[in-house]
Amino acid sequence: MSDPEGQPAGNAGNTSSAKDKKDDNGKRTRVLLIIGGIFVLAGVTWFLLWLFVFSQREVTDDAYVNGNQVNVSAQISGTVVAVMADNTDRVKAGQVLVRLDPTDTKVNLSKARNALAQVVRKVRQAVANAAQADSAVNARKVELALARSDLKRSEPLLAAQAVSPEQLAHLKDRVKTASSALQLARRKAVAAHATVDGTDVAHNPAVLQARATFLSAWLAAHRTSILAPVSGYVAQRSVQVGQQIKPGMPLMQIIPLNDLWVDANFKEVQLAHIHIGQTVKVKPDIYDGLVFKGKVQGLGAGTGSAFALLPPQNASGNWIKVVQRVPVRISLNPKDLRKHPLRIGLSTEVEVDTHDRSGRVLAKAPVHKAVSQTSVYDTDLGEARRQADAIIQSNLGANTTK
């Protein structure tokens, strides 16, 4: 049989199947083109992201908060009688942290006071002895002049036999004795003046030395109170009541949490485009999602392994290359620190924006101002000087002269 059009039924079926296959191939081609376009678009997008974003920044999570760890120690030896601050306490610069037993320093101060008074009196005595030696010289001069005068008057009388040769010999011996006595008196006067000439009693070297000893004893008496050199928070307290301490022994630490920074340890392959002054985003792990603003302050002068207690010796034995890391210091915004305090040792993630590469890799100019300083040890010696001067004046006497 044939269809109304005169076409065989089998041919119609073949035509329909071919059309379906052609439609399927077209759909597959479109799908592949779409997938290919997506991959191409993704590749272009990734390239653009790398070119304008990822290549313009350096990121590391090997970064930790750091800061000054100020050791508190004594300036004199002594026994601890009171500890005025403990770990986590807030302290201010100049606050008393530890008190030492003041008994020994008070005794030493009393000895220094008495020694100063005694030295002043001895110098006064030396001045009086010098004046006495001068009087002795004058007396010997008079004796010599009288002896010479008697000899001069007696010599013409020898020819007239008015005086005997024995008397004239005695007069000559008298002149020699007076001359020797004068020389001896002069030498004694020189010795007496050696310790007092050129200055008054108050400025005599011996008095000034005793005065300095008194000032030193006064300082020691006031250093029984150990002060906080800076403001911050107490950590690592090790001092205990009753402990015998020596100068320089660490007693506790003070951490000024208002002056912190981040040490980010970048791989050496990441350092090519990191420069001083570049902006930084710091994400501390302690604050989820919080970002601190910072700047690159400087790059370390060596790798961490180079400054290790036992630096590697790559020239000996088998060698395996290890990518090194260099610490990069990043300063933090003080406002961010006040709002969200950090602690030393906290982990952070650091992202350095390297778009601006005009900065330097190394600092150009040397630093001329103090990185950190304190004035709590600038002791006012005015009171000590006034006490020393009062001791000197009270022992000078009413008629003291040079």
pLDDT more than 70, % of the chain? 87
Contacts 24+ apart (CB under 8 A), 388-395: 388/116, 388/211, 388/214, 388/215, 389/202, 391/113, 391/116, 391/117, 391/120, 391/214, 392/116, 392/120, 392/201, 392/202, 392/207, 392/211, 393/202, 394/117, 395/117, 395/120, 395/121, 395/124
Pick 88 or 156 by higher pLDDT: 88
387 token code pair = 């006490």
**Residue 155 near residue 168, CB atoms below 8 Å:** yes
C-alpha distance from residue 28 to each of 14, 20, 25 (Å):
21, 12, 5
Measured distance CA(375)–CA(360) in Å, rounded:
34
pLDDT at position 160: 63
Q: Give dist(CA 262, CA 38) in Å, integer.
A: 41
Q: Is the dihedral of CA 217, 220, 224, 228 positive or negative?
A: positive
Mean pLDDT within 124-143: 87
Tokens of 141: 């001069």
Bridge partners for 253 per DSSP: 71, 235
Is the model more confident about 166 or about 72?
Answer: 72
More confident of the two residues 153 and 321? 321
Looking at residue 216, what is its pLDDT?
94
Tokens coding 229: 């050199």
Burial of 295 (0-12, 13-18, 19+ CB in 10 A): middle
What is the predicted pLDDT for the residue at 402? 44
Give me 334's structure tokens: 């003080």
DSSP 230: S
Least confident of 221-230, 266-275, 378-387: 378-387
Residue 266 has pLDDT above 90, yes or no: yes
Q: Two tokens at 169?
A: 């010999």
| Average confidence (pLDDT) over 148-168 | 68
The Cα 90–Cα 231 span in angstroms is 8
Express each pLDDT in 104-128 by its tens digit.
Answer: 999 999 999 999 999 999 999 888 8
Which position has the higher pLDDT, 329 or 310? 329
Residue with tokens 């020994």: 104
Residues 6+ apart with CB under 8 A from 124: 201, 395, 396, 397, 400
Q: Answer for the pair 255, 69: CB distance below 8 angstroms, yes or no.
A: yes
* Range 69-100+222-255: architecture per CATH: Beta Barrel (2.40)
pLDDT at position 401 is 45
Beta partners for residue 353, in sequence order: 57
The domain locations on the chain are 69-100+222-255, 104-213, 260-353
pLDDT at 327: 94
Burial group, residue 224, by CB count within 10 angstroms (0-12, 13-18, 19+):
buried
Residues comprising the chain, all counted: 402
Which of the residue ranges 202-216, 223-237, 296-310 would you say has the lowest mean pLDDT? 296-310
pLDDT at residue 13, rounded to an integer = 57
Supply 304's token pair.
């961490």
pLDDT tens digits, residue range 332-351? Answer: 999 999 999 999 999 999 99
Give the per-residue pLDDT at 1.
43
Q: What's the rounded mean pLDDT across residues 225-237?
A: 95
Q: Give the strand order in the sheet containing 225-227.
A: 225-227, 96-100, 78-83, 244-245
Residue 16 has pLDDT above 50, yes or no: yes
Record: fold of 260-353: Elongation Factor Tu (Ef-tu); domain 3 (2.40.30)
Q: Which residue has the tokens 């007076």?
A: 178
7 pLDDT more than 70: no
pLDDT for position 106: 95
What is the per-residue pLDDT across 44-93, written as a single tens digit (0 to 9) for each? Answer: 777 766 666 656 788 999 999 999 999 999 999 999 999 999 999 999 99
CA quadruple 232, 234, 236, 241: dihedral positive or negative? Answer: positive
Looking at residue 2, its pLDDT comes to 45
Contact 261, 66 (CB under 8 A): yes
- Rounded distance, CA 273 to CA 77, Å? 53
Most confident of 165-169, 377-381, 388-392: 388-392
Name the helix (H) or strand (E) containing 10. Answer: helix 9-52
